[in-house]
Amino acid sequence: MATPPSSAPVAPITAVAPVAPVAPVAPVSPAAVKILIAGGFGVGKTTLVGSVSEVTPLRTEEYLTKASVGVDDLAGVDQKDTTTVALDFGRITVNPDLVLYLFGTPGQERFWFMWNDLVNGALGGIVIADTRRLDTSFASIDFFESRRIPFVVAINCFHGHNTRTPNEIRAALDLDPQVPMLLGDVRERAFGRDLLLALVDHLMDLAADAADAADAAVTAAVTAPVG
């Protein structure tokens, strides 16, 4: 859409003098991408968002409507239930034309399945795990795997609490060997940055693999014996 040149007639603008002035040339909107931060309740999702975000983490809410499910359903009753779910997020201005949003997913992962807007279009995810209760991150890993969202794993190590080796943790989480896993303190900005970089590198590897696979498919098609 063309931005009106600043030399456009100014008469209509001067006629609205009581209004606070608007920037003469409307700023161009940057494009946006997002990364999801997941993990069990209280594992440090908002802390990680805050450690790398250029603004104090913001909170917003959404109404999610779900058809109630479970064993306590009354047969034949199509009961709907609405829940309010809170979401913490932050932002990183990558460059003047690109903003990265970091969304801490709600602690109860059953909500994610109802919230397509949260999940759709995510570049990837970071799953935070606590070695004292690794099982709280299982659902997050399951979710990203089922939705085919690439992710990296952050092992949040508070001082002296990590008594397991990385291999033991990998085994406990049943991680695919390709999935990067980093150990550190999510309160530290440098660790947050390294996690994001690890995710981007992982995405680049996956893109390269996909390109290779496409090439191989083309080669196979070209060289396939006739008959």
103 binds another protein (CB under 8 A): yes
Q: Which ranges of the chain does DSSP label H, i.e. alpha helix? A: 11-14, 45-52, 116-119, 138-146, 166-173, 189-223
91 and 102 in contact (C-beta within 8 Å)? yes
Between 109 and 131, whose beta carbon lies closer to another protein? 109
CB 227, min distance to another protein, A: 30
Burial (CB count <10 Å: 0-12, 13-18, 19+), residue 181: middle
Judged by CB under 8 A, the residue of 67, 69, 98, 216 near another protein is 98
152 and 198 in contact (C-beta within 8 Å)? yes
Judged by CB under 8 A, the residue of 67, 69, 94, 171 near another protein is 94
82 binds another protein (CB under 8 A): yes
Residue whose structure tokens are 């975000």: 53
Residues 6+ apart with CB under 8 A from 132: 161
CB 138, min distance to another protein, A: 23
The DSSP element (H or E) to which 51 belongs, if any, is: helix 45-52
Residues in region 187-226 near another protein by CB under 8 A: 189, 192-193, 196-197, 200-201, 203-204, 206-211, 213-214
Residues in region 52-81 near another protein by CB under 8 A: 52, 55-63
Stretch that binds another protein, among 67-75, 97-105, 127-135, 158-166 (CB under 8 A): 97-105
Between 88 and 169, whose beta carbon lies closer to another protein? 88
29 binds another protein (CB under 8 A): yes
Stretch that binds another protein, among 70-78, 89-97, 129-137, 176-184 (CB under 8 A): 89-97
Beta bridge partners of residue 88, listed in sequence order? 59, 104
Quickly count: other Cβ atoms within 10 Å of residue 204's Cβ: 10
